[in-house]
Amino acid sequence: MRVNFTVNGRKQEADDVWEGESLLYVLRERMGLPGSKNACEQGECGSCTVRLDGVPVCSCLVAAGQVEGREVVTVEGLADYAQHRQDAHPGGGCASGACGTSLDAAQRWQAKPADGRTGEAGALSPIQQAFIDAGAVQCGFCTPGLLVAADELLERNASPSDQDIREALSGNLCRCTGYEKILDAVRLAAARQEEAV
Protein backbone atom coordinates (compact mmCIF):
# COMPACT_ATOMS: atom_id res chain seq x y z
CA MET A 1 0.00 0.00 0.00
CA ARG A 2 0.96 3.64 -0.25
CA VAL A 3 1.05 5.80 2.87
CA ASN A 4 0.94 9.60 2.68
CA PHE A 5 1.90 11.55 5.75
CA THR A 6 3.95 14.47 6.98
CA VAL A 7 7.31 13.90 8.63
CA ASN A 8 9.08 16.80 10.27
CA GLY A 9 7.02 19.28 8.29
CA ARG A 10 7.60 17.67 4.93
CA LYS A 11 5.06 15.64 2.98
CA GLN A 12 6.16 12.08 2.40
CA GLU A 13 4.78 9.09 0.60
CA ALA A 14 5.92 5.56 1.16
CA ASP A 15 5.22 2.95 -1.50
CA ASP A 16 4.97 -0.84 -1.29
CA VAL A 17 4.43 -0.71 2.46
CA TRP A 18 3.48 -4.13 3.75
CA GLU A 19 0.38 -3.98 5.95
CA GLY A 20 2.23 -5.24 9.00
CA GLU A 21 5.02 -2.67 8.89
CA SER A 22 5.28 -0.32 11.79
CA LEU A 23 5.69 3.42 11.60
CA LEU A 24 9.13 2.81 13.11
CA TYR A 25 10.13 0.54 10.24
CA VAL A 26 8.83 2.99 7.64
CA LEU A 27 10.72 5.88 9.23
CA ARG A 28 13.96 3.96 9.62
CA GLU A 29 14.08 1.79 6.53
CA ARG A 30 11.96 3.67 3.98
CA MET A 31 12.32 7.36 4.91
CA GLY A 32 16.02 7.17 5.81
CA LEU A 33 15.30 8.59 9.27
CA PRO A 34 17.05 6.17 11.66
CA GLY A 35 16.95 8.57 14.62
CA SER A 36 13.99 6.76 16.18
CA LYS A 37 15.54 3.69 17.74
CA ASN A 38 14.58 0.02 17.70
CA ALA A 39 15.40 -1.26 21.18
CA CYS A 40 12.42 -3.44 22.08
CA GLU A 41 9.82 -3.03 19.34
CA GLN A 42 7.03 -3.76 21.78
CA GLY A 43 6.36 -0.42 23.38
CA GLU A 44 8.27 -1.01 26.59
CA CYS A 45 11.42 1.11 26.24
CA GLY A 46 10.36 4.35 24.57
CA SER A 47 13.45 4.53 22.34
CA CYS A 48 11.28 4.97 19.24
CA THR A 49 9.11 7.76 20.70
CA VAL A 50 7.85 10.23 18.10
CA ARG A 51 5.00 12.71 18.12
CA LEU A 52 1.95 11.75 16.12
CA ASP A 53 -0.26 14.81 15.71
CA GLY A 54 1.53 16.20 18.74
CA VAL A 55 1.05 13.19 21.00
CA PRO A 56 4.12 11.16 22.05
CA VAL A 57 3.75 7.56 20.90
CA CYS A 58 5.95 4.50 20.54
CA SER A 59 6.31 4.35 16.76
CA CYS A 60 6.96 0.62 16.96
CA LEU A 61 3.34 0.13 18.07
CA VAL A 62 1.81 2.29 15.35
CA ALA A 63 0.94 0.44 12.14
CA ALA A 64 2.18 2.41 9.14
CA GLY A 65 -1.33 2.62 7.70
CA GLN A 66 -2.51 4.45 10.81
CA VAL A 67 -0.44 7.52 10.00
CA GLU A 68 -2.18 8.20 6.67
CA GLY A 69 -2.74 11.95 6.43
CA ARG A 70 -1.22 12.63 9.83
CA GLU A 71 1.80 14.51 11.08
CA VAL A 72 4.88 12.93 12.62
CA VAL A 73 7.77 14.66 14.35
CA THR A 74 10.92 12.64 15.01
CA VAL A 75 14.13 13.52 16.78
CA GLU A 76 15.54 14.59 13.42
CA GLY A 77 12.92 17.34 13.30
CA LEU A 78 13.03 18.29 16.95
CA ALA A 79 15.20 21.38 16.55
CA ASP A 80 13.03 22.81 13.79
CA TYR A 81 9.91 21.92 15.72
CA ALA A 82 11.18 23.71 18.82
CA GLN A 83 12.17 26.71 16.73
CA HIS A 84 8.75 26.84 15.17
CA ARG A 85 7.13 26.66 18.58
CA GLN A 86 9.33 29.46 19.79
CA ASP A 87 8.42 31.59 16.76
CA ALA A 88 4.71 30.83 16.87
CA HIS A 89 4.28 30.91 20.63
CA PRO A 90 7.15 33.05 21.93
CA GLY A 91 7.94 32.60 25.57
CA GLY A 92 5.52 29.81 26.25
CA GLY A 93 4.59 26.28 25.60
CA CYS A 94 1.37 25.38 24.00
CA ALA A 95 -0.47 23.14 26.35
CA SER A 96 -3.55 23.28 24.18
CA GLY A 97 -1.94 20.80 21.84
CA ALA A 98 -2.58 23.17 18.95
CA CYS A 99 1.09 23.81 18.48
CA GLY A 100 2.26 22.80 15.04
CA THR A 101 -0.26 20.05 14.87
CA SER A 102 -2.87 21.36 12.47
CA LEU A 103 -2.49 20.35 8.88
CA ASP A 104 -2.55 23.99 7.95
CA ALA A 105 0.35 24.80 10.26
CA ALA A 106 2.22 21.74 9.11
CA GLN A 107 1.88 22.77 5.50
CA ARG A 108 3.26 26.20 6.16
CA TRP A 109 6.17 24.87 8.18
CA GLN A 110 9.18 23.57 6.28
CA ALA A 111 12.03 21.78 7.92
CA LYS A 112 15.55 22.90 7.08
CA PRO A 113 17.51 21.46 5.39
CA ALA A 114 14.94 20.09 2.99
CA ASP A 115 15.39 16.41 3.81
CA GLY A 116 14.15 16.91 7.35
CA ARG A 117 17.45 16.00 8.97
CA THR A 118 18.88 18.91 10.85
CA GLY A 119 22.57 18.06 10.61
CA GLU A 120 25.38 20.35 11.61
CA ALA A 121 23.74 23.25 9.80
CA GLY A 122 20.73 23.28 12.12
CA ALA A 123 20.83 24.62 15.65
CA LEU A 124 19.89 22.34 18.51
CA SER A 125 16.68 22.65 20.47
CA PRO A 126 17.06 23.67 24.14
CA ILE A 127 16.47 20.11 25.35
CA GLN A 128 19.03 18.68 22.91
CA GLN A 129 21.66 21.16 24.05
CA ALA A 130 20.83 20.50 27.70
CA PHE A 131 21.28 16.74 27.25
CA ILE A 132 24.79 17.34 25.91
CA ASP A 133 25.71 19.92 28.54
CA ALA A 134 24.43 17.90 31.50
CA GLY A 135 26.20 14.69 30.48
CA ALA A 136 22.87 12.93 29.93
CA VAL A 137 24.16 11.22 26.78
CA GLN A 138 26.30 8.14 27.17
CA CYS A 139 25.70 5.39 24.63
CA GLY A 140 22.87 7.60 23.41
CA PHE A 141 20.54 4.88 22.19
CA CYS A 142 17.69 5.99 24.46
CA THR A 143 18.41 9.66 23.81
CA PRO A 144 16.18 10.32 20.76
CA GLY A 145 13.09 8.92 22.48
CA LEU A 146 13.86 10.72 25.72
CA LEU A 147 14.36 14.00 23.88
CA VAL A 148 10.99 13.78 22.14
CA ALA A 149 9.26 12.90 25.43
CA ALA A 150 11.10 15.57 27.42
CA ASP A 151 10.43 18.24 24.82
CA GLU A 152 6.74 17.43 24.96
CA LEU A 153 6.83 17.63 28.77
CA LEU A 154 8.43 21.07 28.68
CA GLU A 155 5.85 22.20 26.14
CA ARG A 156 3.05 21.22 28.54
CA ASN A 157 4.79 22.20 31.75
CA ALA A 158 7.46 24.89 31.59
CA SER A 159 8.72 24.29 35.13
CA PRO A 160 8.15 20.65 36.05
CA SER A 161 8.95 19.26 39.49
CA ASP A 162 11.29 16.29 39.76
CA GLN A 163 8.30 14.03 40.23
CA ASP A 164 6.67 15.51 37.13
CA ILE A 165 9.81 14.76 35.13
CA ARG A 166 9.99 11.23 36.48
CA GLU A 167 6.37 10.61 35.66
CA ALA A 168 6.68 12.01 32.13
CA LEU A 169 9.81 10.02 31.31
CA SER A 170 8.82 6.78 33.01
CA GLY A 171 8.10 5.16 29.65
CA ASN A 172 11.66 5.68 28.44
CA LEU A 173 14.29 3.19 29.60
CA CYS A 174 17.93 4.20 29.88
CA ARG A 175 20.54 1.60 30.83
CA CYS A 176 23.64 3.80 31.03
CA THR A 177 23.09 6.94 33.01
CA GLY A 178 21.14 6.06 36.12
CA TYR A 179 18.75 8.86 35.03
CA GLU A 180 20.27 11.47 37.37
CA LYS A 181 21.87 13.39 34.53
CA ILE A 182 18.71 13.10 32.47
CA LEU A 183 16.89 14.83 35.33
CA ASP A 184 19.68 17.41 35.37
CA ALA A 185 19.21 17.97 31.64
CA VAL A 186 15.47 18.53 31.84
CA ARG A 187 15.90 20.88 34.80
CA LEU A 188 18.60 22.73 32.87
CA ALA A 189 16.45 23.11 29.76
CA ALA A 190 13.53 24.35 31.86
CA ALA A 191 15.76 26.86 33.66
CA ARG A 192 17.20 28.14 30.40
CA GLN A 193 13.72 28.53 28.94
CA GLU A 194 12.67 30.55 31.97
CA GLU A 195 15.76 32.72 31.70
CA ALA A 196 15.05 33.33 28.03
CA VAL A 197 11.57 34.67 28.77
Partner 1 sequence: MATTGTPTNITQGSKTKGGIGESTLRPDGTLKVTGEFAYSSDMWHEDMLWGQTLRSTVAHAEIRSIDISEAVAMPGVYAVLTYDDLPTEVKNYGLEIQDTPVLAHGKVRHHGEPVALVAADHPETARRAAAKIKIDYAELPVITDEASATAPDAVLVHEGRDDHHIGHVPHPNIVHRQPIVRGDADEAAKRADVIVKGEYTFGMQDQAFLGPESGLAVPSEDGGVELYVATQWLHSDLKQIAPVLGLPEEKVRMTLSGVGGAFGGREDISMQIHACLLALRTGKPVKIVYNRFESFFGHVHRHPAKLYYEHGATKDGKLTHMKCKIVLDGGAYASASPAVVGNASSLSVGPYVIDDVDIEAIALYSNNPPCGAMRGFGAVQACFAYEAQMDKLAAKLGMDPVEFRQLNAMEQGTIMPTGQPVDSPAPVAELLRRIKARPLPPEQQWATAGEAADVRALPGGLSNTTHGEGVVRGVGYAVGIKNVGFSEGFDDYSTAKVRMEVVGGEPVATVHTAMAEVGQGGVTVHAQIARTELGVTQVTIHPADTQVGSAGSTSASRQTYVTGGAVKNTCEHVREAVLEIGRRKFGSYHPAWATAELLLEGGKVVTDGGEVLADIAEVLEDESVELELEWRHRPTEAFDLRTGQGNGHVQYSFAAHRAVVEVDTELGLVKVVELAVAQDVGKALNPLSVVGQIQGGTTQGLGVAVMEEIIVDPKTAKVRNPSFTDYLIPTILDTPTIPVDVLELADEHAPYGLRGIGEAPTLSSTPAVLAAIRNATGLELNRTPVRPEHLTGTESS
**Residue 165 sits in the site that holds partner 1 (CB under 8 A):** yes
Other beta carbons within 10 angstroms of residue 75's beta carbon come to 27
**Shortest approach of partner 1 to residue 60 CB, angstroms?**
10
Stretch that binds partner 1, among 44-52, 64-72, 86-94, 99-107 (CB under 8 A): 44-52
DSSP for 80-124? HHHHHHHHHSTTS--TTTTTTTSHHHHHH---SSTTS--TTTSPP
**Shortest approach of partner 1 to residue 180 CB, angstroms?**
5
Rounded CA separation 158/78 (Å): 17
* Binding residues with partner 1: total (CB under 8 A): 67
DSSP for 13-81? EE-S--TT-BHHHIIIIISS-TTS--S-SSSSS-TTEEEETTEEEEGGGSBGGGGTT-EEE-GGGHHHH
- Strands 49-52 vs 71-73: parallel, antiparallel or unpaired: antiparallel
**Residue 191 sits in the site that holds partner 1 (CB under 8 A):** no
Nearer to partner 1, 96 or 147 (CB): 147
Rounded CA separation 44/137 (Å): 20
**Residue 1 sits in the site that holds partner 1 (CB under 8 A):** no
Task: Kindly write out the interface string for residues 79-108 of this chain, putting x where it contacts partner 1 by CB under 8 A and - elsewhere.
Answer: x-----------------------------
Task: Kindly write out the interface string for residues 131-160 of this chain, putting x where it contacts partner 1 by CB under 8 A and - elsewhere.
Answer: xxxxx-xxxxxxxx--x-------------
Contact residues toward partner 1 (CB under 8 A) are 18, 20-21, 28-29, 32-42, 44-45, 47, 74-76, 78-79, 117-120, 122, 124, 128-129, 131-135, 137-144, 147, 163, 165-167, 169-184, 188
